Structures are given as C-alpha cells and as structure tokens.
Structure 1
Amino acid sequence: MAQQTLSSSIQARITTQSPAQGRVQPRRVHALRRAPVAKAQRRVLSPLCAATSPSSGGDYTTELANAEKRWEDQIRDGRVKSISAAAAGELKQEGWVFLDVRPPTEVAKAGVEGSIEVPIYIPETEWSVVNLLKQASNFGLGGWWLGGSHMIPNQQFLREVQTKIPKDAKVIVACQKGLRSLSAAEQLSRAGYSSIAWVNGGLDTAKKPDLPVKGADDLRYGGIGGLSELLGWNDVQREKNAGALGGPSGPIKLAAGVLLLDGIWFAYDYLQEFLHKAQ
C-alpha cells in the first residue's frame, strides 16, 4: 500500500492554487467513455508538485510520475469516468451525488448547490519552524499572487465520505482545477465505490448554466485569491470588469498592488533568512 500512496508532503503540493489552464471542451453525457487525462492537467501537476520543500527529501519527480500514471490508468481502465462540468450538471439532475472535495475557503466563495462537501486537503494549522518554511516556500512559489496556502491531507476524508455517501451511490467528484478530485477518485475507487465520475478540468471549466451555484454567480470565483484577486487580474474578474485594469479604480489598485508586493517580498526574504538561521 505504501508504494501506491503519495507521501503527505507531496500530496499537499497538489493543493496549491495555480493559474487556470486551457478550457476543456465539453462532452455530452451520453459520451461517458474512457478518456485520457487532459494534457492541461499534466502541465499543472508537474511544476507544482515536483518542487521540493526545504525540510524534506526524496525523489519527488519519480513519486509524482508514478502517481500521475495511476491516476491516468483509472481513467483509461474505466474505473473513473472523465466528464465535463456540463455533463456533471446533467448527471446531478439524474440523481448522481456531487462530492465537492475543495477546502472550505474555496467552497465559501462559490459552492455547488446540493453538493456533499468533504475536503481532501485542509490547511496546515500546526506552527513550527518546519511548517513555517513550508509556508514560506509556498509563498515563494506563487502563493503571494494566487492566495494559496500550504495544505495537508485530511486524514478523515474517507471516513467522512462514507458516513455521508453510501457505496452503492453514483458519485461525481470535483475540485477547482481537477487535480485534487482525481486523487480523491482514486481513494473512493479503492474504498469500494464503483460508479465514479470526475470533472475534467475542475470547476474552473464550468459555465453558468452547467451547475447550480451558491455564494457567487460563477464557480470560478472559488479559485481566485491573493494579489491577483485584489487587482482583478484573473479570467472571471476581467470578464466582469470594464477596461484593461478593471474600471476607473484600476490604476489605483495597480499602484497599491506594486507597493504591497514590494513589502511582501521584503518580508518573505527576511522570514526565509530568519527561519534558516533558526534551524
């Protein structure tokens, strides 16, 4: 079993938010055929997961390559069906259970009405020099821009799912970008769930009519944060704001953002130096 499961430090890295990749072309519900994992997902996974943390070792590239192969195999073998967000909405209407495995912070911004919410990863809350180094590493890898934080696997994930969803249920698994949910689908399959569908590309690919939304009018809001949200420099905010910089306040936001970024970067350098000296 140890060879088939990612270490917790590696698993946590697939939770870091990353820029939205190319759209996944919707597929019709009747086309629930075996499909390969989208290349866009592979491009997201490798750079985020392969980066090592200052406090850990091991061959991350090999471990991640093995995990990615397993995840692709479950799609090719038909254990997990790859579907679009639009198809997920239609299946939900037919009685499939929608399992949202995003952390509460993303669900609070934009959730799926009527879904079961069980996070597969949760924020790291234990304070130590090691964890501070991980947080600093995450910040340096893009957390300052995207608002992501260091996550750890939810050890109660399967137990929580099993108390809320019977094993004979038909389950749709989704997250924001499609990586965490693919990992969750593997766990569900091993636990005995036989009818599993995975939203290829995640909720970032959903359009307004695809799924019922709560908390916002667009599911893509769940994946924004950090300085990019403050400045409105992401797909969903740019579509809703007028002008290249998001309307009349755009230049002011830009100037404030530059000053804020300069201060944050200075604090990040100082924290890195302090923590390395403390080790």
Structure 2
Amino acid sequence: MGSIGIKSSGSEVVTIDVHATKGLIQTSHVYLDVRTVEEFEKGHVDAEKIINIPYMFNTPEGRVKNLEFLKEVLSACKKEDHIIVGCQSGVRSVYATSDLLKEGFKDVSNMGGGYLDWVKNQFPVKTPLDLVKDEVPLKATLDLVKDEVPLETTLDLVKDEEVPLETTLDLVKNKLPLKAP
C-alpha cells in the first residue's frame, strides 16, 4: 500500500496510493475528480461512483480556484460519504481534500500521484472512445478522435468493426472518410 497519514485534528489530509484507491472505489467509496472538465473529458479513472467537480478553472490569466467548489460538493455528496479525491498529479487534490475536511466531511482521503500514477499502473480508465463508441456511428467516432488519439487506439476501435487495416491507416494518415468493406 502507499503512504497513509494520520488524522489528528480532523483536518490533516490522509494520502493513499492508487493501489489502495483502486480497492476502495470498488466498494462504497466515491471518487471525486477535481481536475478541470477538459482534463476529465480526455480520460478519467474508471469508477462506478465518480464525480467531476473542478477545484480550479483554467483562465487566460492562469488557474483560479473554483469559489463554488464546496457548495458543489455539498450538493453531490453527504459529509458522511466515503470520498477519495484525485487530480492529475496529486497536488490540487491535497488542497481540495483539506478544504473538504475543514468543511466537516468525515471520511475524505487524497489519492497520491493522481491520474498520472493511476495510468502509469495501467489501471482502468474511461476515455472519449469508451464514452462514444457504443453510442455513435463508427465514422462519427473516428471524426471526433482522429486528430487527438494515437494510432494504436484508433486501430483498437476499428478492429472490432472489421474495417480493413489499409482503410484505417489511410483514414489516420490522410484523414480520409471511412468506407466500410
């Protein structure tokens, strides 16, 4: 397991590693992803109970704190809920966890290492492909992701649709429309 802090005053942040998090989110814990909506939509932890409430927003001047963060969390969670807070690398989530503890949440932990560590350990993630591939026609899905998704991921998407490899490679390389066999 990872490093685990000690709650002494009720506001000290407890950090758990991604391995412990993986086990806890498979039980009764809520995973609170505090990354920006843009980060979340590119990919996030695959959890049954997941909520995205940004702790900070990107602005032209840089990142600014979400002043409605606590209010938004209170509208989605109870203070007694078991919550694990995660972000991209584990920094924003420490601040978010601290704020939640100060607000009176009882069982809130920080996921050390964040989403980057989760991915590094090859734990399950949800990506835009996962979210749309079963609901949107294949061509529309490829149009949505072809400029942002690695070739291997695109190939994985189309191999289940029995599209010839040459067509897939042409699509990715030359941005051609997909034509089913």
Higher RCO structure (Cα 8 Å, ≥6 apart): 1
Identify the match of residue 118 of structure 1 among 38, 53, 69. 53
* Change over 3 Å in CA distance of 1:76–1:166 after alignment to 2: closer
Once residues 43 and 74 of structure 2 are traced to their aligned partners in structure 1, the CA distance between those partners, rounded to angstroms, is: 24
Offset of residue 76 of structure 1: 9.6
Kept in 2, the 8 Å contact 1:121–1:153? The answer is: yes
Q: TM-score, normalised by structure 2?
A: 0.62
Kept in 1, the 8 Å contact 2:44–2:127? The answer is: yes
Aligned structure 1 segments of 4 or more residues deviating by more than 6 angstroms: 74-78
1:197 is aligned to 109
Once residues 94 and 181 of structure 1 are traced to their aligned partners in structure 2, the CA distance between those partners, rounded to angstroms, is: 21
1:88 is aligned to 21
Give the secondary-structure state (helix, strand or coil) at the position aligned to 2:19: helix
Once residues 87 and 216 of structure 1 are traced to their aligned partners in structure 2, the CA distance between those partners, rounded to angstroms, is: 26
Once residues 75 and 83 of structure 1 are traced to their aligned partners in structure 2, the CA distance between those partners, rounded to angstroms, is: 16
Give the secondary-structure state (helix, strand or coil) at the position aligned to 1:192: coil
Between the aligned residues of both structures, percent identity stands at 28
2:95 is aligned to 183
Kept in 2, the 8 Å contact 1:88–1:172? The answer is: yes
Summarize deviations over 1:126-161 as a string: whole Å, max 9, x none: xxxxx6xx4xxxxxxxxxxxxxxx111111111110
* Structure number with higher helix proportion: 1
* Change over 3 Å in CA distance of 1:104–1:76 after alignment to 2: same
Q: TM-score, normalised by structure 1?
A: 0.41
Q: How does 1:144-155 map to 2 (within 5 A)?
A: 150-155=62-67
* Structure number with higher strand proportion: 2
Which segments of 5 or more consecutive residues in structure 1 lack a partner in the other structure? Answer: 1-26, 36-73, 125-130, 135-149, 218-236, 241-279
Q: How does 1:102-113 map to 2 (within 5 A)?
A: 102-113=35-46
Q: How does 1:1-279 map to 2 (within 5 A)?
A: 27=1, 33-34=4-5, 79-113=12-46, 114=48, 115-124=50-59, 134=61, 150-206=62-118, 207-209=121-123, 212-215=124-127
Aligned residues between the structures: 127
Give the secondary-structure state (helix, strand or coil) at the position aligned to 2:115: helix
